[in-house]
Amino acid sequence: MRSNDSTVPRAVSKPPRKPRGIRQTMSDLHIWAGLLVGWFLYAMFLTGTVSYFKDELSQWMRPELAHQSEVPDPALVAQRVASQLAILAPGSPQWSIGMSDARNNTANAFWRKPGVQGRAFENATFDPSTGHKVAARETPGGEFFYRFHFQFHYMPVLWGRWLAGFCAMFMLVAIVSGVITHKKIFTDFFTFRWGKGQRSWLDAHNALSVFGLPFHFMITYTGLVTLMALYMPWGSDTAFKTPAERQQLTAELSAFIQPAKPTGQKAALAPIDDMVRQAQARWGRDNINRVTITHPGDAASRVSVSRGEEGRASMSPQYMLFDGASGKLLSTKDSVGPAAETRGVLYALHLGRFGDLPTRWLYFLVSLAGTAMVGTGLVMWTVKRRQKLPDPDKPYFGFWLVERLNIAAIPGLSIAMAGMLWANRLLPVDLLKRGEWEVHAFFIVWAMTLLHALLRPAKKAWLEQLWLAAAVLALLPLLSVFTTHRPLWQSVAAGDGVFVGIELMLWALAALHAVLAIRTSRHAAKLRPSRREAAGRSAATASAGEAA
Amino acid sequence: MIAALRRARDLGPLVSRIVAAVFGGYALAALSSIAALALPMRKPEAVLTGMLASFAIYAAAVVWVFAVRSALRAWMGLLVAAAPLLLAAWSVRAGGGA
Amino acid sequence: MSHLAILLLCVFGFAALAVVMERHQEDLFGRPMVPATARSLRVAGWAALLLALAVAVRAQGWALGLVSYSGHTSLSAALVFGLLIVQARRKGRR
């Protein structure tokens, strides 16, 4: 039945080969496309999965901020933050304020640095009830995993995005070739079973791939769409030669209005809350996303108030444009062209911000399955080839490399992510550049897992890292008890769904790693006798080397 | 030396396909995103349509390159697909902006 | 509440369709199924899946409904698959 069980790839130098069938070539393409970028894809998938709850994670990482039982009125929040920005960045030509909402107990803002050439921005996080900067530990919160997901770190943003796009394109090819290879994908729909050894890895990979296929295909294609202006600028560059012309396109994509030429004539910024109230009348009290203000304090000032993301499966711009000095409504953008709306829908599908809580959980679970799909694929590569190694203790370099990178990339990443949360709880609050140090901690821990994976015997490294991941995840709620004023029982008593949800999830993920560790140790314990004989070593040496 | 040459000869088609897939596929997708400007719609709409479709074209080109029987066929297929797109793109540039 | 209904309908639908597949009939019942039963189960299975879609669209509109339906079908298919595995292992243990 196993229709896509590939035979040993034939050595290139053998004379006349009969032409290989399409399923065989697609299988090879699938394996190479997956292997070459698999570690990046796994990291993108896992950080992306976690990002569906990034706002909740950010809350958990700022335990000083109280649980928000009611969402503050966005009109008031916008006004408060705007008043603060008048003190922080008075000369700036462009402010953009993001509202707090049911999932997010902070407001954020970024602004163009006044007097700096080119695009230089600063940002800050604000307490929605006062408008002042948050009085909480400096941390990137869940935003770090979100940004890492599509632009990585320690490299120019553009390079990171190109790398992500490159990997996404490989993923798209892997999906298409995977479907072609698995021709009986629908007739086989429920017939894969839990086999043994190599079979069970294939079955798991197949099941995870097939059951989540609509999601995996959608998430990959829409991921490319979110950055398509970067990857395929040619049409835009051909059609639009001047910035003014390019505005035609940007207006279809975003509510982030650009500053026009300032008049130099001073005019106080009209009350922001009145403008937001008009938008609330149109879209609902809590359905406000961002307020962008250009040239505050100048007569040429403009304010755009954009519609919230909930309940609307599209990111295409819908906003109300006001005159900043008088507060008068100038125009309302309600719709865009069909291609722009398609792009808006695809973008929204990727981010999944439109959904209610159950939908968000579905996104999270299926995305986690996608992560496991990539992981099982990577492991399967070594499992299949281990059978054919002449001496399992001295594999060829390619095998050795893949095996070790798998360890650092899979359980190693879990340990690193947990490590960042440990840093969030342990780093001194007044440490300089504390937020950056949380990120450094993530990478330092990850590097250590790589070192561990390179130095230890492979099976031991797998087990040790899986158990370590289980431990560091499970201990986080306990760590919170000792380092914060938000122990789990208090969160339960207070009805704080966010803190309870995060900490229970940490335990659930810890349990998952523990289960994987147990299965791995059982698998290591029973090895086929034929393999030991083929290796030509004594049974005693073999069992000593392979004991978990 | 002979062995190295033989290995190079054997790997040649594979390398050729990889080039065709990675670079040829991208070129085809980029070309199609320009050719999309010839579509009868407003410029921003045509630009976006081209961008949205480009990844499907890239993926299809890569699958084609590895599915066909020889590296030569792979390249020929890309060129055949590119020809009408080149014409459309040319007409866009010649016709100038709308 | 509608989410629960959609999920349950999908689980039932996939379970019915899975049971009807020949391989599983052998494993589950030890003998092939009466064709009439098989046919009605197939109809019931597809009907449940369509009904789940209708519930989703009714509750959330086409856009959000299609999205959550897609998520529910993935999850429920995986659940039914898991149940089949559990059942097969229990049987294997005799």
Listing DSSP states for A83-97 in one string gives HHHHHH-TT-SEEEE
Q: What is the pTM of this model?
A: 0.90
Examine the pLDDT at A333 and tell me if it is beyond 90.
yes
Q: How many CB pairs under 8 A join A and C?
A: 65
Mean pLDDT score across all residues of chain A: 89
Residues of B in contact with A231 (CB under 8 A): 54-55
Q: Do A190 and C18 touch (CB under 8 A)?
A: yes
ipTM above 0.90, yes or no: yes
Domains contained in chain C, number: 1
- What pLDDT score does A252 carry? 93
Nearest-angstrom CA–CA distance, A542 and A123: 58
- What pLDDT score does A19 carry? 65
Residue A161 lies in a domain: yes
Residues of A in contact with C63 (CB under 8 A): 313-314, 345
Nearest-angstrom CA–CA distance, A400 and A341: 48
Name residue A156's amino acid: P
Examine the pLDDT at A535 and tell me if it is beyond 80.
no
Q: Do A225 and B66 touch (CB under 8 A)?
A: no
Nearest-angstrom CA–CA distance, C11 and A460: 39
Q: Which subunits count as partners of chain A given 3+ CB pairs below 8 Å? A: B, C
Q: Do B47 and A228 touch (CB under 8 A)?
A: no
Residues of B in contact with A249 (CB under 8 A): 43-44, 47-48
Name residue A210's amino acid: V
Assess whether chains B and C touch, using the rule of 3 or more C-beta pairs within 8 angstroms: no
Nearest-angstrom CA–CA distance, A319 and A293: 13
A313 contacts B22 by C-beta, under 8 angstroms: no
B61 contacts B25 by C-beta, under 8 angstroms: yes
Examine the pLDDT at A9 and tell me if it is beyond 90.
no
Residue A67 lies in a domain: no
| Mean pLDDT across A108-121 | 83
Q: What is the pLDDT of residues A373-403, one digit of tens each?
A: 999 999 999 988 888 888 888 889 999 999 9
Examine the pLDDT at A17 and tell me if it is beyond 80.
no
- What pLDDT score does A261 carry? 87
- What pLDDT score does A207 carry? 87
Are A235 and A259 in a shared domain? Answer: no
Please return the burial class of C31, using the count of CB atoms within 10 Å of its CB with bins 0-12, 13-18 and 19+. Answer: exposed
| Min distance A368 CA to chain C CA atoms (Å) | 11
| Mean pLDDT across B5-20 | 90
User: Percent helix, strand and coil across chain B, each rounded to 5?
Assistant: 90, 0, 10
Q: What is the pLDDT of residues A41-55, one digit of tens each?
A: 999 999 999 999 999
Q: Do C3 and A311 touch (CB under 8 A)?
A: no
DSSP character string of A346-382: HHHHHH-TTS-HHHHHHHHHHHHHHHHHHHHHHHHHH
Nearest-angstrom CA–CA distance, A9 and A68: 58
- Taking the Cβ of residue C24 and every Cβ of chain A, the question of whether any pair is shorter than 8 Å is answered with yes
Examine the pLDDT at A540 and tell me if it is beyond 90.
no
The boundaries of the domain holding residue A361 are 20-61+139-252+342-348+356-381
Are A217 and A182 in a shared domain? Answer: yes
Examine the pLDDT at A22 and tell me if it is beyond 50.
yes
The boundaries of the domain holding residue C20 are 2-92
B38: number of Cβ within 10 Å = 16
Nearest-angstrom CA–CA distance, A99 and A285: 12
Are A276 and A305 in a shared domain? Answer: yes
- Taking the Cβ of residue B82 and every Cβ of chain A, the question of whether any pair is shorter than 8 Å is answered with no
Task: Categorise residue A327: left if φ over 0, alpha if ψ from -120 to 50, beta otherwise.
Answer: left
Examine the pLDDT at B63 and tell me if it is beyond 70.
yes
Q: Which subunits count as partners of chain C given 3+ CB pairs below 8 Å? A: A
Q: Which residue(s) pair with A96 in the sheet?
A: A110, A292
Which range (A311-315, A470-474, C18-22, C55-59) has the least confidence? C18-22
Are A230 and A263 in a shared domain? Answer: no
- Taking the Cβ of residue C70 and every Cβ of chain A, the question of whether any pair is shorter than 8 Å is answered with yes
Encoded tokens for A386: 């281990």
For residue A240, report the phi and psi dihedrals to the nearest 5 degrees: -120, 120
* Closest residue of chain A to B36, computed from CA coordinates: A235
Examine the pLDDT at A293 and tell me if it is beyond 90.
yes
Are A417 and A370 in a shared domain? Answer: no
- Taking the Cβ of residue C50 and every Cβ of chain A, the question of whether any pair is shorter than 8 Å is answered with no
| Mean pLDDT across A295-313 | 92
- What pLDDT score does A244 carry? 87
SS3 A73: coil
Q: Do C63 and A345 touch (CB under 8 A)?
A: yes
- What pLDDT score does A225 carry? 97
Are A166 and A267 in a shared domain? Answer: no
Residue A3 lies in a domain: no
Name residue A243's amino acid: P
Q: Do A252 and B37 touch (CB under 8 A)?
A: no
Examine the pLDDT at A546 and tell me if it is beyond 50.
no
Burial A38-73 (b: 16+ CB within 10 A, else e): bbbbbbbbbbbbbbbbbbbbbbbbbbebebbeebbb
Examine the pLDDT at B97 and tell me if it is beyond 70.
no
Examine the pLDDT at C66 and tell me if it is beyond 70.
yes
The distance from CA A486 to its chain's CA centroid, rounded to whole angstroms, is: 26
Examine the pLDDT at A545 and tell me if it is beyond 50.
no
- What pLDDT score does B92 carry? 87
Domains contained in chain B, number: 1
Are A416 and A536 in a shared domain? Answer: yes
Q: What is the pLDDT of residues A50-83, one digit of tens each?
A: 999 999 999 999 999 988 888 999 999 999 999 9
Strands A94-98 and A319-323: unpaired
A354 contacts A348 by C-beta, under 8 angstroms: yes
Residue B26 lies in a domain: yes
User: Among candidates A532, A541, A475, which has minimal Cα distance to A506?
Assistant: A475
For chain C, give the secondary structure using H, E and C. Answer: CHHHHHHHHHHHHHHHHHHHCHHHHHHHHCCCCCHHHHHHHHHHHHHHHHHHHHHHHHHHHHHHHHHHHHHHHHHHHHHHHHHHHHHHHHHHCC
Nearest-angstrom CA–CA distance, A338 and A342: 6
A439 contacts A153 by C-beta, under 8 angstroms: yes
Are A214 and A260 in a shared domain? Answer: no
Residue B22 lies in a domain: yes
Examine the pLDDT at A31 and tell me if it is beyond 70.
yes
Sorting pLDDT into bands at 50, 70 and 90, what band is A5? very low
Encoded tokens for A491: 């969160």
Domains contained in chain A, number: 3
- Taking the Cβ of residue B34 and every Cβ of chain A, the question of whether any pair is shorter than 8 Å is answered with yes
Question: Which residues have CB under 8 Å from B3's CB, separation 6+?
Answer: none
Nearest-angstrom CA–CA distance, A374 and A538: 36
Nearest-angstrom CA–CA distance, A420 and A434: 12
Assess whether chains C and A touch, using the rule of 3 or more C-beta pairs within 8 angstroms: yes
The boundaries of the domain holding residue B32 are 13-93
A447: number of Cβ within 10 Å = 13
Question: Which residues have CB under 8 Å from A547's CB, separation 6+?
Answer: A524, A525
User: Among candidates A83, A169, A161, which has minimal Cα distance to A128?
Assistant: A83
Q: Which of A192, A207, A349 has the CB atom closest to C67's CB atom? A: A349
Q: What is the pLDDT of residues C1-46, one digit of tens each?
A: 899 999 999 999 999 998 887 566 666 666 666 778 888 989 999 9
What percentage of chain A reaches a pLDDT higher than 70? Answer: 89
Higher per-residue confidence, A270 vs C38: A270
Q: What is the pLDDT of residues A163-220, one digit of tens each?
A: 999 999 999 999 999 999 887 776 667 766 655 556 777 788 988 998 899 999 999 9
- What pLDDT score does A137 carry? 93
Are A117 and A263 in a shared domain? Answer: yes
Question: Which residues have CB under 8 Å from A372's CB, separation 6+?
Answer: A204, A208
Q: What is the pLDDT of residues A422-456, one digit of tens each?
A: 999 999 999 999 999 999 999 999 999 999 999 99
Residues of C in contact with A365 (CB under 8 A): 71, 75
| Min distance A430 CA to chain C CA atoms (Å) | 44
What are the C-alpha distances in Å from A115 to residues A97, A266, A295? Answer: 20, 18, 13
Name residue A422's amino acid: W
- Taking the Cβ of residue A344 and every Cβ of chain C, the question of whether any pair is shorter than 8 Å is answered with no
Sorting pLDDT into bands at 50, 70 and 90, what band is A18? low
Q: Which of A228, A251, A339 has the CB atom closest to B45's CB atom? A: A339
Q: Do A362 and C75 touch (CB under 8 A)?
A: yes
Examine the pLDDT at A142 and tell me if it is beyond 90.
yes
